[in-house]
């Protein structure tokens, strides 16, 4: 067995992505796209995903270490299962073959794989008591390695210390408990996982907002970014025309504008670009 799938396995798992990849096989959505997605809302992303058949990519009802801080990054997935002695022995042996030598610190195995722009996304089946994946020390390691943060479907500890992390990071989690992580076994890194109703694959783009977390398949990340930018520009145009009383709210607040309004918008956008 392996803790992390081979590069070929990850490529097959994420075959919808045809762009660049990291050495481990994860999709490498360009940084420029991630920058654009920081302006996107959950609802804008959700609308694009729903249109393309991805109806179950959102998970809500989170607590945050830095409420209101939006995070965008590439998912490094991981999954824990309830402890079972023979399975744990097999995992420890596999971990040693893959240079993970701290058998009793399997949560740190995940952190050692993180790099800038990643988001640690961990399924620990909602466990909070003795399900605290990070405290302030490991949380600091996540923050320093990724510059983004984490999504933990389970618990954290040392909440006050984690709140002091700086640099625009945020950790989404279910609840807090002072107990250390116990009686679980790491089932895999960069494997398919379940976060709430969402299935998450390695390399998915994590968009964390005050609304919750949406997991964007990498092949749709550019489209979400472009759609979000278009929506923001249309919103500016619509509000301007409403304030000028050139159109009514019934004209503007519809999915598709009438032809004359669309033509007006395109001309307005062209004039705006010419002024820059």
Measured distance CA(15)–CA(30) in Å, rounded: 17
Residue 157 is predicted with a pLDDT of: 98
Name the phi and psi angles at 206, rounded to 5: -90, 120
Query: How many domains, in total, are found in the chain?
Result: 2
Q: 183 pLDDT exceeds 90? A: yes
Q: What SS3 class is residue 237?
A: helix
Q: Are both 42 and 139 inside the same structural domain?
A: yes
Residue 1 is predicted with a pLDDT of: 92
Q: Are both 81 and 176 inside the same structural domain?
A: yes
Residue 1 covered by a domain:
no
Q: Strand 193-195 and strand 198-200: pairing?
A: antiparallel
Residue 157 covered by a domain:
yes
Measured distance CA(78)–CA(258) in Å, rounded: 48
Distance of CA 129 to the CA centre of its chain: 24
Q: Where are the beta strands (DSSP E) in 106-257?
A: 118-123, 132-134, 149-156, 170-176, 184-189, 193-195, 198-200, 205-209, 212-216
- Could you tell me if 206 and 212 are in contact, meaning their C-beta atoms sit under 8 angstroms apart? no
**What would the two tokens of residue 58 be?**
């959102």
Rounded to an integer, the average pLDDT of 246-270 is 93
Q: Where are the beta strands (DSSP E) in 84-139?
A: 118-123, 132-134
Residue 103 is predicted with a pLDDT of: 83
pTM, rounded to two decimals: 0.93
Helix, strand, coil percent content, the chain, rounded in steps of 5: 40, 25, 40
44 falls in which pLDDT band (50, 70, 90)? very high
**What would the two tokens of residue 116 be?**
């800038």
Residue tagged 């609840």 (tokens):
175
Q: 98 pLDDT exceeds 80? A: yes
Domain that holds residue 83: 7-217
Angle CA 211–199–100, to nearest 5: 105
Q: Are both 63 and 84 inside the same structural domain?
A: yes
272 falls in which pLDDT band (50, 70, 90)? confident
Residue 101 is predicted with a pLDDT of: 85
Residue tagged 């994590």 (tokens):
206
Q: 273 pLDDT exceeds 80? A: no
- Computed over every residue of the chain, the mean pLDDT equals 96
End residue of a domain, out of 170, 192, 217: 217
Measured distance CA(184)–CA(130) in Å, rounded: 9
Residue 59 is inside which H or E element, if any?
strand 58-59
63 falls in which pLDDT band (50, 70, 90)? very high
Residue 276 is predicted with a pLDDT of: 65
pLDDT > 90 in the chain, percent? 95
Residue 168 covered by a domain:
yes
Residue tagged 């923050």 (tokens):
143
- Could you tell me if 141 and 133 are in contact, meaning their C-beta atoms sit under 8 angstroms apart? no
Q: What SS3 class is residue 226?
A: helix
Residue 61 is predicted with a pLDDT of: 97
Residue 251 covered by a domain:
yes
Measured distance CA(94)–CA(182) in Å, rounded: 20
Using a 10 angstrom Cβ sphere, with 0-12 exposed, 13-18 middle and 19 or more buried, the burial of residue 117 is middle
Q: 180 pLDDT exceeds 80? A: yes
End residue of a domain, out of 217, 242, 260: 217
Q: Are both 202 and 148 inside the same structural domain?
A: yes
Rounded to an integer, the average pLDDT of 31-39 is 96
Rounded to an integer, the average pLDDT of 102-124 is 96
């Amino acid at each position: 067995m392996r803790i992390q799938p081979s590069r070929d396995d990850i490529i097959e798992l994420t075959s919808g992505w045809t762009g660049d990849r990291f050495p481990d096989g994860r999709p490498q959505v360009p940084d420029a796209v991630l920058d654009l997605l920081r302006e996107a809302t959950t609802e804008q992303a959700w609308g694009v995903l729903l249109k393309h058949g991805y109806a179950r990519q959102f998970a809500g009802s989170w607590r945050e270490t830095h409420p209101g801080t939006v995070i965008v990054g590439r998912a490094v997935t991981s999954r824990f299962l309830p402890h079972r002695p023979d399975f744990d022995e097999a995992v420890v042996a596999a971990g040693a073959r893959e240079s993970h030598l701290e058998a009793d610190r399997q949560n740190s195995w995940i952190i050692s794989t993180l790099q800038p722009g990643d988001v640690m996304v961990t399924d620990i089946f909602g466990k909070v008591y003795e399900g605290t994946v990070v405290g302030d020390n490991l949380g600091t390691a996540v923050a320093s390695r990724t510059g983004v943060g984490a999504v933990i479907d389970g618990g954290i500890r040392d909440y006050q210390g984690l709140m002091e992390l700086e640099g625009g990071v945020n950790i989404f989690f279910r609840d807090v408990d002072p107990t250390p992580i116990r009686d679980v076994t790491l089932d895999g890194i960069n494997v398919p996982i379940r976060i709430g109703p969402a299935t998450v694959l390695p390399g998915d783009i994590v968009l964390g907002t005050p609304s919750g977390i949406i997991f964007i398949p990498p092949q749709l990340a550019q489209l979400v970014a472009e759609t979000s930018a278009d929506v923001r520009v249309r919103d500016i145009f619509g509000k301007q025309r409403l304030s000028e009383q050139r159109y009514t709210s019934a004209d503007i607040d519809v999915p598709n504008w009438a032809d004359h309004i669309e033509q007006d918008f395109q001309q307005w956008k062209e004039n705006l670009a010419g002024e820059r």
